Amino acid sequence: MISKKGQATIMTDTISIILPARNEAASLRTLLPELVTVLPDMEIIIVDDGSDDDTLAVCAEFPVRVVSHPYPKGNGAAVKSGARAANGDVLIFMDADGQHKPEDIPALLKKFSEGYDMVVGARQSGSHAGAHRAVANDMFSRFASWMVQQPVEDLTSGFRVVKADKFRKFLYLLPNGFSYPTTITMSFFRAGFSVGYVPIHTPRRATGKSHIRPLRDGVRFMLIIIKVGTLYSPQKLFIPISAAFFWAGLCFYLYTYLTAGRFTNMGALLFISAIFTFLIGIVSEQISALHYKDIDQSKYEGD
């Protein structure tokens, strides 16, 4: 039994908390004392992603494990390093910038104990650093909900509790950048694992600065839409696009036939695009299925 500020959460599994960190010395100086106080019995792993500030010195002041990257590899790479190094049967991922609050962990664990394979802290209104991020996350979550036919309350939240053995099955799929939450969420849905959500509020970071750059990462976040489709059900993404090309070609053909009495190259191009898009969807569906063919293996073999 683990007591959390008056709340009791019964867990029979060991727990590891993983915090990817890059130049987060200032926020860790505030966050680590609270983590160690509130969660004294849990393994805390700080993954130093090539920091050039005092991150290592701050970590040395507290009873935490440190996994260091010799150079910055990305948030997703840090998450993977932490998952490989963790000893716990259950993994808790948090941001090291102080936006995720340790006092929310008992609520996530309580939901997790109901039989979920992964529980995500779903950020509520006002939790995002800017209106553009809130709108983007809402768009991603709505699209993901349509894809999986299940409510996806926050597709990109990095605050989550997950079973270690099931998380590690998808390490090879996770990108090294910032879109790892999207990949792992859609992979869990595709594999038939249970995903739950707990509402949280994340304040804006008080120290340091975000490592997300709008111009560079904006394109990457736009690709999340494609990743959601290809990870879960490519045909559900490609068939509507194929149908749109087909109907556009049909309408254009009828227009040119009635007005000019001929079948134009543009009409042919639209029909060909419809066929190729449909075929790409079929091939993508088969490739996507290969990612999950060994998902029921009971033992994680390692890297």
Nearest to 93 by CA among 198, 32, 15: 15
| H or E stretch covering 104 | none
Which residues, at least 6 apart from 208, have a Cβ–Cβ distance to it below 8 Å?
Answer: 23, 24, 26, 27, 97
Q: What is the full per-residue pLDDT of the chain (303 aa) written as tens digits?
A: 344 443 434 456 799 999 999 999 999 999 999 998 888 889 999 999 999 999 999 999 999 999 999 999 999 999 999 999 999 999 999 999 888 999 999 999 999 999 999 999 998 876 555 566 677 777 878 888 888 888 888 888 999 999 999 999 999 888 887 778 988 998 899 888 999 999 998 876 555 555 555 555 556 666 776 777 777 778 888 889 999 999 999 999 898 888 888 888 888 999 999 999 999 888 888 887 777 766 665 444 444
Is the model's pTM score more than 0.75? yes
CA 157 to centroid of chain Cα atoms:
6
Residue 228 burial class via C-beta count within 10 angstroms: exposed 0-12, middle 13-18, buried 19 and up: buried
Structure tokens at 138: 């809402």
Contact 120, 185 (CB under 8 A): yes
Three-point CA angle 235, 238, 242, nearest 5°: 125
